[in-house]
């Protein structure tokens, strides 16, 4: 998709990629730890359709259907959704996990395109940055919690 990256956040997580991936893809556990995507349903594979319920300031505000466009266990997950016909607003969400000497570096980013995108960039950028940061921090905390449970 040709578009503009509106948000990109990253966080260091002191854990192995496999554990971070398992928490990220444990969709059933999202209501317990994820402040941005409060509910997620779908099959865990590329091409799957997911239903995501996202929040704004802790309140449910929109459920959307997305399609998983990349599924590389322990490394990369992407999905795409929006209003495709006519191409009003299409978003592609990416989560990348990269091994480091101290654990992993997780990058979460959103790229948008479509007729409505230019007018919404400033509004979306601020909100997405805050949501991704909150989700990244909650993911790190959930990974730490699961590590402590297994110790």
* 136: Cα separation from own chain's centroid: 9
pLDDT, greater one: 146 or 58: 146
Contact between 108 and 9 (Cβ < 8 Å):
yes
Tell me, what DSSP letter sits at residue 57? T
Per-residue pLDDT for 21 more than 80?
A: yes
Tell me what the pLDDT averaged over the chain comes to. Answer: 90
Predicted TM-score (pTM) above 0.85: yes
Q: What is the pLDDT averaged over residues 126-142?
A: 92
Q: Using 50, 70 and 90 to split pLDDT, how confident is the model at 129?
A: confident
Q: What are the CA-CA distances from residue 114 to residues 76, 88, 104, 129 (Å)?
A: 24, 5, 33, 20
Cis peptide before 103 (omega within 30 of 0): no
Token look-up 């322990």 returns 74
Q: What is the pLDDT averaged over residues 44-57?
A: 92
Compute the distance between CA of residue 92 and CA of residue 68 in angstroms, rounded to an integer: 10
Per-residue pLDDT for 119 more than 70?
A: yes
Contact between 109 and 93 (Cβ < 8 Å):
yes
pLDDT-above-90 percentage for the chain: 65
Per-residue pLDDT for 110 more than 60?
A: yes
Per-residue pLDDT for 50 more than 90?
A: yes
Per-residue pLDDT for 148 more than 80?
A: yes
Interhelix angle 17-24/117-150, nearest 10 degrees: 120
Compute the distance between CA of residue 76 and CA of residue 125 in angstroms, rounded to an integer: 22
| Residue 60 confidence (pLDDT) | 65
């Amino acid at each position: 998709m040709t578009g503009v990256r509106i948000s990109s956040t990253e966080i260091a997580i002191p854990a192995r990629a496999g554990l971070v991936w398992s928490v990220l893809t444990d969709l059933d556990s999202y209501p317990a730890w994820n402040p941005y995507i409060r509910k997620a349903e779908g099959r865990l594979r590329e091409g799957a359709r997911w239903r995501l319920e996202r929040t704004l300031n802790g309140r449910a505000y929109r459920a959307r259907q997305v399609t998983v466009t990349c599924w590389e266990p322990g490394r990369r997950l992407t999905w795409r959704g929006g209003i495709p016909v006519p191409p009003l607003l299409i978003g592609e969400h990416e989560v990348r996990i990269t091994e480091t000497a101290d654990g992993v570096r997780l990058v979460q980013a959103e790229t948008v395109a479509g007729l409505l995108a230019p007018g919404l960039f400033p509004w979306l950028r601020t909100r997405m940055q805050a949501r991704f940061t909150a989700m990244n921090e909650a993911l790190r905390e959930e990974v730490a919690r699961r590590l402590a449970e297994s110790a």
